[in-house]
Amino acid sequence: MNIDHLLQLFVVKEKSFFPLFVKSAENIRSASALLLQQTKEADSDERRILSHRIKERETEGDNITRQIVEVLMNAYITPFDRDDIHDLAEGMDSFLDSIRDASKKISIYQPKDPSKKLIEIAEYIDKAAGLMVEATKHFDTLRKDVRELDRLCDEIKEIEHTVDDIYESYMSNLFEFEKDAIELVKKKNIAQALEDTSDIAKAVSSKIRSIVVKNS
Residue 47 φ/ψ, nearest 5 degrees: -60, -40
pLDDT in tens, 55-73: 999 999 999 999 999 988 8
Distance CA(13)–CA(25), nearest Å, equals 20
Burial class (CB in 10 A: 0-12, 13-18, 19+), 109: middle
The tally of domains found in the chain comes to: 1
Mean pLDDT across 93-112: 98
Residue 185 has pLDDT above 60, yes or no: yes
pLDDT in tens, 2-27: 444 444 444 444 568 899 999 999 99
> Rounded distance, CA 87 to CA 104, Å?
25
CATH number at residue 31: 1.20.58.220
For residue 91, give the nearest of 199, 15, 216 by alpha carbon: 199
Q: How far apart are CA 126 and CA 33, in angstroms?
A: 6
Whole-number average pLDDT of the chain: 92
Left (φ > 0), alpha (ψ -120 to 50) or beta: where does 81 sit? beta
CA distance 121 to 36: 9
pLDDT one-digit tens code per residue, 120-146: 999 999 999 999 999 999 998 988 999
Structural domain for 92, as ranges: 3-215
